[in-house]
Structure 1
Amino acid sequence: MKTLTILEVGNLAGVVVIIVGVIILVALVLSLIVTVVTKVIYEWKGDRKFTKKQFIQTMLISLLVCGLISGYICGGL
């Protein structure tokens, strides 16, 4: 008898959507925290300004890194 995975048991598309949504939400929160910490460190002395463009770029880079890490974990490599 073959063992069944959780996706083969039935209509569990909702569970998969919830899991993916949670992963995306956690990645967004983590990248926001990393970006805010980066902004605080960058503006620590007071003579430099962290622009909106830098904020968005830092957020995107952090999201990409979170995506790579979660892909590595979920991919099982």
Structure 2
Amino acid sequence: MKTLTILEVGNLAGVVVMIVGAIILVALVFSLIVAFITKLIYERKGARKFSKKQFIQTMLISLLICGLISGYICGGL
């Protein structure tokens, strides 16, 4: 008899979507916090301005790093 994985049991697509959505939401919040802290550190020194483009780029880099880390953890090696 062949053993079934959790996804083959049926109707668990909603659970998988919720888990992936939660991972994406946590990564977005984490990268928003990282970008905000980076903005505070950057603007603390002198009269420099952290532009919107720099903020978005910082968020994207942080999201990419979060994606690599979660892919490594969830995918294994």
Residue 12 of structure 1: how far off its partner (Å): 0.6
Residue aligning to 2:3: 3
2:31 is matched by which residue type in structure 1? S
Unaligned runs of 5+ in 1: none
* TM superposition score normalised by structure 1: 0.93
CA distance in 2 between partners of 1:56 and 1:11 (Å):
37
1:21 is the counterpart of 2:21: yes
Give the share of equivalent positions with the same residue, in percent: 86
Runs of 4+ aligned structure 1 residues displaced above 3 Å come to none
Unaligned runs of 5+ in 2: none
Residue aligning to 2:52: 52
What is the root-mean-square deviation in Å for CA atoms of aligned residues?
1.0
Residue 8 of structure 1: how far off its partner (Å): 1.1
The count of corresponding residues between Structure 1 and Structure 2 is: 77
CA distance in 1 between partners of 2:3 and 2:31 (Å):
38
